[in-house]
Structure 1
Amino acid sequence: MRLTLLAPLMLIAAGSVFATDLASELQRCQGIADNQARLQCFEQVSKASQPATPAQPATPAQAAAPAEPAAPAQAADVIKVTPVQVGEQTGPTQAAASSDEALFGKTIRKTEEASASKIVLVIKTAKLDRTNRFEIETTNGQKWVQTEYGYMNLKAGDKIYIEKAALGSYLMSNGKANKTLRVKRVD
């Protein structure tokens, strides 16, 4: 009876000791300043923490990959990173800003990134449709249609502000009056 209780307790205790040892090893690796040495440290910790398993069959991607010349034993496990994959943080460029503006209002599923939450446009044409809702074309070619009832004094050449609102909708204002109209992009 004692043996059946003692064996599982020893396994649990050994697992918790291993977990604290793994955590301390990971913290030690995080403290290394050199990128290559830190990567090798993490590789060694991950290999030590994995149980011994039989060799896995190669996936099709691995089979199709060309064989590289043999390198030292430690360098064989190191992944080569090109400058295209890893880049330094750079400030926003004019091209990125214009692409954000060009895609503003389009229903595109993107990951959460910093993008424009408000844009300023100049009206090229503003006309009322048969239901007294504005159809607005801007100088950059975007077309916006009013989706709720209301009136705002808009004419060609006026500046308008379109900002993101709740649940994927957009609000348009002209900056002169304290009024907004809900709009959607149609092109």
Structure 2
Amino acid sequence: MRLTWIVAAVIGFSSQAYAGLEQDLALCAAQGDKLDRLLCYDKLAAGVAKPGRQAPKAAAAQAQPSASAAPAATAVTTTAEAEFGIHRKPVELDVDKLYLEIASVQKDLYGSLTLNFTNGQVWKQVETRHYKLKAGDTVFIEKGALGSFLLGSDDRNATIRVKRLK
């Protein structure tokens, strides 16, 4: 009889702990900002690893950024042209095609091109196809499939895949 009560108590406590964890996860999932959501999940993981876990509302409150921190993060103003092609930036851009003038062209040992543009951007060819370019040419770079970028010119019907280095 005593064993039955112990088993029932263990099942009851574990189901309540599981329900509390589900509520905590739901609070984290409701976070709109990616960084806030990640911080909330990290706090939950740290609380699960330690015996004294935080209350769900306290973890969610700590994950919320302060009102003074938000303007500082958005105070940095960037232009769409300067951020085009950089994958590490979580900025949504509305530029799909960008026209640039080539300042210089270098070839590596494998024949891949490294292009320096007049605006300071540096792009590198990521495939081995031959594509002839020279300084002073005006080319476009447009978004391709799966986050890739294509370089081409209006007078040719061919493009090459490129990635931004700088």
| In structure 2, distance between residues paired with 1:158 and 1:109 | 28
1:167 to 111, 125, 146: 146
1:156 counterpart SS class: coil
| In structure 2, distance between residues paired with 1:178 and 1:159 | 15
Q: Where does 1:72-91 land on structure 2 (aligned, <5 Å)? A: none
Q: Determine which structure has more spread, i.e. the larger CA radius of gyration.
A: 1
2:82 counterpart SS class: helix
Divergent runs of 4+, >6 A: none
Superposition deviation, residue 109 in structure 1: 4.5
1:154 to 125, 129, 133: 133
Q: Which residue number corresponds to residue 129 of structure 1?
A: 108
Identical-residue share of aligned pairs (%) = 38
Question: Structure 1 130/170 Cα, relative in aligned 2: closer, same or farther at 3 Å?
Answer: same
String of CA shifts for 1:131-171, please: whole Å, max 9, x gaps: 00100000000000000011122100100100011111100
Q: Which residue number corresponds to residue 79 of structure 2?
A: 99
Structure 1: gaps (5+ residues): 1-58, 66-83, 85-95
Structure 1 vs Structure 2 CA RMSD: 2.5
1:139 to 118, 128, 153: 118
Read off the aligned partner of 1:103 and give its amino acid letter: E
Judging by fraction of residues, say which structure has more helix: 2
Read off the aligned partner of 2:121 and give its amino acid letter: Q
Superposition deviation, residue 114 in structure 1: 4.9
Structure 2: gaps (5+ residues): 1-60, 72-76
Aligned length: 95
